[in-house]
Amino acid sequence: MTAEEFPDPQPGPSWEQLRVRFACSLGVALLQVVVFWEFFIQASQFVWPPIEPVSQWISFLLVSAGSFVFVSGLFGTLIADQIYKRYLRDDA
């Protein structure tokens, strides 16, 4: 086997880039809370006590929490990668 058969390993993001991603995701999450504060207040009545059927209650929790985490993670990562590439990367 030759070295050409195996590609060079591509390391993942650095710890610094992961910290920037986490900070930006947290910022987007806080922005979501501010923008959708009224929805959070209105939806809080459905969180506890559990409503019947329980599958409906679990679905509500999973969709609400999942969308919150997914949106903040997605946009936070996209924003963080642009910031990291433009301003923070040493080998740019």
Flag residues of the chain having pLDDT under 50. Answer: 92
Closest CA relative to residue 15, chosen from 88, 92, 72, 75: 88
d(CA 25, CA 84): 13
Q: Convert the pLDDT of each residue in 59-68 to its tens digit.
A: 888 888 888 8
pTM value is 0.71
Q: Which pLDDT value is given to residue 2?
A: 58
Q: Which pLDDT value is given to residue 3?
A: 58
Task: Please tell me what DSSP assigns to residue 14.
Answer: -
Q: Which pLDDT value is given to residue 90?
A: 67
Give me 59's structure tokens. 């679905």
